[in-house]
Amino acid sequence: MEATDKVFAGAVPQIYDRLLVPLIFKPYAEDLAVRVMAGRPRRILEIAAGTGALTREMVARLDGESIVATDLNPAMLDIAAARFSGDDRLVFRQADALDLPFAAESFDVVACQFGAMFFPDKPKGYAEARRVLKPGGLFLFNVWDTVESNDFTAVMLDALTRLFPADPPRFLARTPHGYHDAGTIELDIMAAGFPRPEIERVEKRSRADSAADVAIGLCQGTPMRGEIEARGTPELGAVTEAVTKALEQRFGSGVLDGALSAFVVSARKTGA
């Protein structure tokens, strides 16, 4: 992982929230929220909350539970917190998932929506989740499947390879879609002290009003933006337009519908 892979700054958080959350994150946030709430947990910790896609879905299902939502990036977390001003069921706090500022055995569930891929030391991050869980507590998170299993991202990266044949931007392949081997995930979870986890592939569909919305979201609403801008020519607007055309060639110029694929990982803390 490169240092820039975790830089969600400038216009990126707003574009991410406006376009990417409904496009690719909401379907999995709904799925994960149902799983989190199934056990009627009293205290929930969300790590790597971003702009709050999962937070929103959990809040919609709250029935006496409380949530502490954290993220390393204050610009992302500020967007999430602004939606829930005055809601005393939620606390938002900047925190590093690898060094959580909470006492041991504080939470019934720890949940993470598409954040584990960004952990520089995944077993350490998972060990922190285990530390703050009560005995019998549940750690639930999801990670993206391969690029090839996610239609819009695959088309975008093919277009970028043609535009930058010598050095295509690789953020999406390197980090968000770079942690999809179930065997590796299983070993990392067990290295953190959990028993063997359950890992389930979950397929969804993604719909967008236009190819331009998808292209803007993927090119300008992630750290891919910085990678494109660093290359200079073609500039960001031209790249976004080229990706728009590539998406239209594949899916048409109207409403777009594409496949999504991710893994949901469930690990329960055992022992005292």
Q: How many domains does the chain have?
A: 1
Q: What pLDDT does residue 253 have?
A: 87
CATH value at residue 55: 3.40.50.150
pLDDT at 106 exceeding the cut of 60: yes
Rounded CA-CA distance 25/19 in Å is 10
pLDDT of the residue at 87: 87
Indicate the pairing of strand 198-208 with strand 43-47: unpaired
Task: Provide DSSP, 132-190.
Answer: HEEEEEEEEEEEE--GGGSHHHHHHHHHHHHHSTTS---HHHHTTTS---HHHHHHHHH
User: Which residue range is the domain that position 178 belongs to?
Assistant: 3-268
Q: What pLDDT does residue 88 have?
A: 87
**For 16-43, what is each residue's pLDDT tens digit?**
999 999 999 999 999 999 999 999 999 9
Task: Give the pLDDT confidence of 43-63 residue by residue, as tens digits.
Answer: 999 999 999 999 999 999 998
With a cut of 90, say whether residue 103 has pLDDT above it. Answer: yes
- Summarize pLDDT for 159-217 with one digit per residue, the tens: 999 999 999 999 999 999 999 999 999 999 999 999 999 999 999 999 999 999 999 99
Residues 219 and 225: beta-carbon distance below 8 Å: yes
pTM of the entire predicted model: 0.95
DSSP state string for 35-62: HHHTT--SEEEEES-TTSHHHHHHHTT-
The mean of the pLDDT values for the chain is 95
Please, which pLDDT band fits residue 6 given cuts at 50, 70 and 90?
low
Q: Give the pLDDT of residue 227.
A: 95
User: What digits encode the pLDDT tens for the residues 114-173?
Assistant: 999 999 999 999 999 999 999 999 999 999 999 999 999 999 999 999 999 999 999 999
- Portion of the chain with pLDDT greater than 90, in percent: 91
| Residue whose C-alpha is closest to residue 10's, from 225, 191, 242 | 225
Bigger pLDDT: 6 vs 255:
255
